[in-house]
């Protein structure tokens, strides 16, 4: 049995009167692939931000590989080997694609190994043609892929992807599916997505967020056919 690498207990985040995360108990095993779904405003991005220290949770605790990381600084959590792709692409606009990925790798490796890692990652993510371009000039889908490269370059054991397929062409999505599959050989991955097609293609376990809490967890088909889930989420869409 794989061990639990990520666990939250009673994780709560309130903004004034809004409770964006409401006592979330969540568990993830090593190399597990989990999709997080839920209507807009359900608190998925807030949950990610609490995990990575971008937000300090109001209450509750986060454990990574058995160690409590609640209230740690973002850079300390990232240094453990946690990579996150934020909902709005967070990249370094003024420098090249290569520099973006090299810097991500350099945190964990020496300069020369980081160079090798960067080259590998650029190849793996089909960024070769634009490696020398400034990220600020790139199209939306390319920026998303650069950010994925930044996440992958540090060989993380936990990967959080917030709507990675948003605004991508189907060709891009296919590539991404392949890359994410590759990632799961070494890392546990959580993906926030609205695209059901995409979720089905990755076919995995799903956690449904609703009003800051976990509504349901289970196999993708089982979750999709669930009455309550249809009501709060799919019902709106279909």
User: Which residues bind to Mg ion, rule: CB under 5 A?
Assistant: 45, 87
Residue 40 binding: pick among another protein, Mg ion, ligand ATP, none (C-beta 5-8 Å cut-off by kind): ligand ATP
Give the C-alpha distances (Å, rounded to integers) separating 155 from 48, 185, 192. Answer: 19, 11, 20
Residue 87: Cβ-neighbour burial (10 angstroms; 0-12, 13-18, 19+): middle
Q: Which stretch binds another protein (CB under 8 A): 79-87, 164-172, 182-190, 218-226?
A: 79-87
Task: Determine which residue in the list 20, 104, 127, 183 makes contact with ligand ATP, applying CB under 6 A.
Answer: 20
Cα dihedral 128, 129, 131, 134, rounded to 10, equals -160
Of 145, 151, 136, 134, the C-alpha closest to 167 is 145
Interaction mask 31-50, ligand ATP, x per CB under 6 A:
-------x-xxxxxxx----
CA distance 186 to 167: 27
Residue 71 touching ligand ATP (CB under 6 A): no
User: What backbone phi and psi angles, to 5 degrees, belong to 12?
Assistant: -130, 135
Of residues 8 and 121, the one with the C-beta less far from ligand ATP: 8
Partner whose footprint covers residue 90, from Mg ion, another protein, ligand ATP, none (CB < 5 to 8 Å by kind): another protein
* Contact string (CB under 8 A) for another protein, positions 10-49, x = contact: ----------------------------------------
Q: Does 18 contact ligand ATP by CB under 6 A? A: yes
């Amino acid at each position: 049995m794989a061990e639990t690498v990520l666990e939250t207990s009673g994780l709560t985040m309130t903004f004034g009167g809004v409770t964006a995360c409401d006592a979330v108990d969540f568990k993830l095993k090593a190399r597990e692939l989990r999709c997080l779904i839920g209507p807009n405003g359900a608190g998925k991005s807030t949950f990610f931000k609490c995990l990575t220290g971008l937000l300090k949770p109001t209450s509750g605790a986060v454990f990574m590989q058995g160690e409590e990381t609640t209230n740690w600084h973002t850079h300390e959590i990232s240094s453990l080997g946690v990579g996150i792709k934020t909902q709005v692409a967070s990249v370094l606009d003024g420098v090249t694609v290569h520099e973006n990925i090299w810097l991500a790798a350099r945190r964990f490796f020496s300069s020369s190994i980081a160079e090798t890692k960067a080259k590998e990652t650029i190849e793996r993510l089909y960024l070769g043609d634009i490696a020398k371009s400034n990220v600020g000039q790139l199209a939306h889908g390319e920026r998303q892929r650069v950010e994925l490269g930044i996440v992958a370059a540090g060989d993380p054991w936990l990967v959080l992807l917030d709507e990675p397929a948003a605004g991508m062409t189907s060709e891009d999505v296919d590539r991404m599916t392949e890359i994410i599959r590759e990632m799961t050989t070494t890392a546990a991955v959580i993906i926030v997505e609205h695209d059901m097609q995409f979720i089905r293609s990755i076919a995995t376990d799903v956690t449904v967020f609703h009003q800051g809490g976990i509504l349901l967890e289970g196999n993708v088909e089982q979750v999709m056919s669930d009455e309550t889930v249809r009501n709060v989420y799919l019902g709106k869409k279909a």
